Amino acid sequence: MRRKTYLDEINTNIYDIKNKDNYEYKAKKGLSKEIIEEISKQKNEVQWMRDFRLKALEMYNKLELPTWGPSLDELDMSEIATYVRPKGNMTNNWDDVPEDIKSTFDALGIPEAEKRSLAGVGAQYDSEVVYHSMKDELIKQGVIYTDMETALRDYEDIVKEHFMKCVPISDHKFVALHGAVWSGGSFVYVPKGVDVKIPLQSYFRLNSPESGQFEHTLIIVDEGARLHFIEGCSAPKYNKINLHAGCVELFVKKNAYLRYSTIENWSKNMLNLNTKKAIVEENGQIDWVTGSFGSKISMLYPMSILNGKGAKTEFTGISFAGKGQNLDTGFKVVHNAPNTSSVVNSKSISKNGGIATYRSLVQIMPRAKNSKCSVSCESLMLDSLSKSDTIPVNDIRTEEVEFSHEAKIGKISDKTIFYLMSRGLSEEEAKSMIVRGFAYPISKELPVEYAVEMNNLINLELEGSIG
Amino acid sequence: MNMLKLNETPLRTARNFKINNIKLENVEIPKKIEKFDNVNIINDNNNVSIKNIKNDVNIKYGVGEILINQINEKSNVNLEINIMGKNNENIILNFELDSKNKNLIDNINIVAKENSISNVIIKYTSKDDEVFHNGICNVIAEKNSKINITIVNLINDVSNNFYTINNIIKEDASVNYRIIDFGGKNSISNYYSNISDRASNNVDTIYIGDKEKVLDINYIAELYGKASKINMNVEGALNDYAKKNFKGTIDFKSGCAKSIGSETEYCILLSDNVRAKSLPMLLCGEEDVEGEHSAAAGKVDAKQLFYIMSRGFSYNDALKLIIRARFNKVIKKLDEDLKNIIIEEIDRRLK
């Protein structure tokens, strides 16, 4: 009887640190006008934001759940607390962060990474940002990097001009939910011509059980400026469902460049229904680098809207769906101006009953003459318990276009294993090398610490022969 | 008049992508169906019997419930074709719709018996009057049979064409389709194959959309058998204000180890006002398979055009030549008479 080689589930030990649910304020479970008003009151918000939240709640109640994708039947909003304020106030000194929270971020390596390779860090715990700091030279150059609550207070006009304009609350039900209960997140403004050479990173940690995290990230990269922003997220595993419905709005102005990298490793009880969108102006560029490893269910499709002539986008993403996971991920791009271009490179691995779906939209509008789009997606299935689907929609509305899409699905080639073994590698080493090689086009786009982390996440347990 | 919602994909994606189905307005489905007399059947094979027998349509997909019900309740041509042994001559069914035969609701059942070999050509043409066509070709390919089926849609540009193809392909059988989808104001087609062990299924389709034509092509192949094969190859050209949706699904079912599936779609865009949508789906519940798809769209390559025009061809002739070349995989397999008809039709539509 032939035996198969099995890959380990991703090791989540570091991410699984559970602290006592030690909050200063926790909203009642469920969703109602009173709860929304109370969240807004707790945050001492301006009236227009309070009104906005209530309008979003109305929209949430009107919109239907998606009729496609993974089933969200498990989600019961009456069992979710949408706002949990941890103890302590936001600080720019790790020593002032409450000990249990600090030790969690220490274990996740955030303060160490800040010292080593980041220009600024934001750390959110449950619904509020507990730490935010940025290097002085960037402050001197006029870069703003702070939490959304501070931004709403100190830069109200900019926030009002941009908040949920890129992602309107009518987009879908969970964006509307986000609009009603958002809390925390990061605000970044990079002034004209400023090149932020070292990345900024925000890390989102959800500790409280039966709760949701709804952080809002708003980034404006002004004309000719450059930024690399990294987002990390994790949570310990509980028996009941947690919800993440964040929202990321990115504005990339003329000739600006933004790279947005995400390593998502939510716990396996998390429903990750996040929304990310970028509007790119003339000759601007947004690059997305995404690794999706965690969550029970993910529905995540970052979107680039190429509104200016010559705007560009690249999407490089990998997802790894293990036992009990249904990761429905992909990318959307709208070419809405001449000479725009997009390149999509997506990979997925599914094993041990995991479901990995690539879902996408490429839309090339009539005015997008001389635009180019190239899409490539590959899926690797490591056993027949798993499932891997590719569901791409391509909508071409002009003649002057070069568009191509290709996808492949399959298993690790026996011939490749044989070839590597004939060069002296053991079967285990050969298989390990192939899986890492499969992921390499993505990992090489990540900062080195994250690439190492990703390789650790794809941890091989090697036994037996290839099935 | 009601909105018709047809040709649902086997798996839904986001509603705002507007491709899960096709919605048609102002399409009247005729309630009263008269007799249809204008069918010419040519069969010079001793091993083939063609009888006027009605079979109930009971299929997994199809163009849409309302149209399948119409076939079950009101079909005016019912044929059962039983094929045995090796047959050298083509089995030809020519349907011509005209003012006296305005509505064709045809229910064609083909049973290719074990070890049989055959070629079937089904052609739909029409005169200038507005006509209506709703048909089904239901094929059972028994063990080790081989059947080639050519379906030609040359219905006029003011009429509606709805077509369902349903295939059950048993062990070691081979079913090869050539589909030429040029006609109709709206041409909505649904293709389904259930493929067993070591069976193979090839579909080569060419289409042209011009004027304000709406084409909705929904191909679904489910591979159940070990070492089974599906190959979908769709080539088309869109001109004027035409709209096309190509939805191709290859579904590797658990247990179909060593199976191979491939689908390609290439759409040549000849006008700035066309709209080309595609949804090439790969669904995979089996590890040990090879699946791939590709879709591409763009205008005619300028270098190719320049090369041909530098040899003395006009722009229009060069264009026709390039499109004919892309369609050649299908055209070259046709009999001489049909080939000439198709080439003439390409030239006429690309004037």
The string of DSSP codes covering A49-81 is: HHHHHHHHHHHHHHSPPPSSSS--TT--GGG-B
CA dihedral A380, A442, A201, A295 (to 10 degrees): 0
Domain closes at, from B277, B299, B321: B299
Establish if B5 touches chain A: CB-CB under 8 angstroms.
no
- Predicted local confidence at residue A1, as pLDDT: 41
Structure tokens at A204: 């989102």
pLDDT digits (tens, 9 = 90+) for A20-42: 777 778 888 999 999 999 999 99
Percentages helix, strand, coil for chain A, rounded to the nearest 5?
25, 35, 40
Residues of A in contact with B269 (CB under 8 A): 396, 398-399, 401
Which residues lie closer than 8 Å to A80 by C-beta, 6 or more apart? A29, A30, A31, A210, A211, A212, A241, A242, A243
| pLDDT of res. A384 | 86
pLDDT on residue A133 = 86
Same domain, B335 and B241: no
Please give the structure tokens belonging to residue A46: 């301006």
B344 SS3 class: helix
CB contact under 8 A, B289 and A399: no
Residue partners of A154: CB distance under 8 A and separation at least 6? A146
Across the A/B interface, how many CB contacts are shorter than 8 Å? 137
Specify which residues A394 forms β-bridges with. Answer: A362, B278
The angle, 0 to 180 degrees and rounded to 10, between the axes of the packed helices A47-62 and A33-42 is: 150
Q: Which residue, among B22, B214, B298, has the nearest Cα to A396 in the 3D structure?
A: B298
Which of chain B's residues have a Cβ under 8 Å away from the Cβ of A410?
Answer: 289-291
Q: Report pLDDT for A448.
A: 67
**Contact between A396 and B297 using a beta-carbon 8 Å cutoff:** yes
DSSP A134-160: E-HHHHHTT-EEEEHHHHHHHSHHHHH
First to last CA, chain B: 35
Shortest Cα distance from B314 to chain A (angstroms)? 20
Judged on CB neighbours under 10 Å (0-12, 13-18, 19+), B128 is exposed
Query: Which residues of chain B make contact with A411, given a CB cutoff of 8 A?
Result: 287-289
* Nearest residue in A to B237, CA atom: A399
Chain A hits for B293, CB-CB cut-off 8 Å, are: 390, 405-407
Per the CB < 8 A criterion, the answer to whether A276 and A463 are in contact is no
Domain that holds residue B13: 4-299
Cα separations in angstroms, A378 against A164, A297, A326, A347, A407: 33, 20, 17, 5, 6
What is the DSSP code string of A381-425? E-STTSEEEEEEEEEE--SSEEEEEEEEEE---HHHHHHHHHTT-
Length of chain A in terms of residues written: 467
What sign has the CA pseudo-torsion B298, B299, B302, B306?
positive
Do B114 and B215 fall within a single domain?
yes
> Using an 8 Å Cβ cutoff, are B78 and B49 in contact?
no
Looking at the fold, whether B266 and B148 belong to one and the same domain comes out as yes
Q: Which parts of chain A have pLDDT scores under 70? A: 1-17, 447-467
What is the predicted pLDDT for the residue at A12? 54
B213 and B325 co-located in one domain: no
Which residues, 6 or more positions from B98, have their beta carbon under 8 angstroms from its beta carbon?
A: B38, B126, B127, B129, B131
Same domain, B287 and B317: no
Of B156, B147, B154, nearest to B109 (Cα)?
A: B147
CA distances from B226 to A51, B171, B289 (A): 60, 9, 9
Query: Which two tokens mark A371?
Result: 């635009």
Residues B42 and B152 in one domain: yes
* Cβ–Cβ contact B226 with A under 8 A: no
Question: Can you tell me the distance from the alpha carbon of A230 to that of B257, in angstroms, rounded to the nearest whole number?
Answer: 41
| Contact across the interface for A359 and B285, Cβ inside 8 Å | no
Q: Which residue of A has its CA nearest to B257?
A: A384
Query: Of the candidates B267, B284, B299, which is a domain's last residue?
Result: B299
Q: Is B230 on the interface with A (CB under 8 A)?
A: no
State the Cα–Cα distance between residues B195 and B224, nearest whole angstrom. Answer: 6
Instruction: Extract the tokens encoding B222.
Output: 């489910």
Q: Which of A390, A403, A407 sits opposite B297 (nearest CB)?
A: A403
Write out residues in chain B with pLDDT < 50, as ranges: none
Structurally, chain B folds into a number of domains equal to 2
Give SS3 for B196. Answer: coil
Residues of B in contact with A467 (CB under 8 A): 287-288
8 Å CB contact of A404 and B295: yes
Nearest to B121 by CA among B290, B288, B339: B339
Cα–Cα nearest to A377, from A429, A435, A442: A442
Range 287-306 of B in CB contact (< 8 A) with A = 287-299
- At residue B106, the pLDDT reads 98
Q: Which residues of A265-293 are buried (b: 16+ CB within 10 A; e: fewer)?
A: bbbbbbbbbbbbbbbbbbbbbbbbbbbbb
Q: Name every chain B residue with its beta carbon within 8 A of the beta carbon of A409.
A: 252, 282, 284, 289-292
Q: Are A414 and A427 in contact (CB under 8 A)?
A: no
- Predicted local confidence at residue A420, as pLDDT: 92
| Alpha-carbon span A203 to A213, nearest angstrom | 12
d(CA A11, CA A1): 29
Report residue B220: phi and psi, to 5°. -130, 125
For residue B20, the 8-state DSSP code is S
A68:B267 CB<8 A: no
* Predicted pLDDT at A466: 29
> Which residues on chain A place their C-beta less than 8 Å from a C-beta of chain B?
66-69, 359, 361, 366, 379, 381-384, 386-411, 467
Please give the residue of chain A at the shortest CA–CA distance from B296.
A404
Q: How far is CA A78 from CA A22, A273, A296, A385, in A?
A: 21, 17, 19, 33
Q: Do residues B179 and B136 both lie within one domain?
A: yes
Q: Minimal Cα distance from B277: which residue of A?
A: A395
Q: Residue B156: helix, strand or coil by DSSP? A: coil
Residues B211 and B261 in one domain: yes
Nearest Cβ partner of A391 from B13, B255, B274? B13
Q: Which residues are A26's β-sheet partners?
A: A84
DSSP B71: H
Distance from CA of A456 to the nearest CA of B (A): 24
Q: Does B204 share its domain with B288?
A: yes
Interface test with A, best of B8, B11, B13 (most A CBs within 10 A): B13
Residues from chain B that touch A406, judged by Cβ atoms under 8 A, are 292-295
Find chain B residues with C-beta within 8 A of A386's C-beta.
287
B73/B112 same-domain check: yes
In a shared domain, residues B194 and B233: yes
Task: Using the CB atoms, write b or e for A11-38: b if 16+ within 10 Å.
Answer: ebeebebebebebeebbeeebeeebbee
Cβ of A388 within 8 Å of Cβ of B297? The answer is no
Q: Which DSSP string do the residues of A155-214 spell out, in sequence order? A: SHHHHHHHTTTSS-TTS-HHHHHHHHH----EEEEE-TT-B--S-EEEEEE--STTBEE-
Gap from B213 CA to chain A (nearest CA, Å) = 15
Q: Are B131 and B224 contained in the same domain?
A: yes
Cβ contacts (< 8 Å) between A361 and chain B: which residues? 14, 17
> What residues in A contact B297, CB-CB < 8 Å?
394, 396, 401, 403
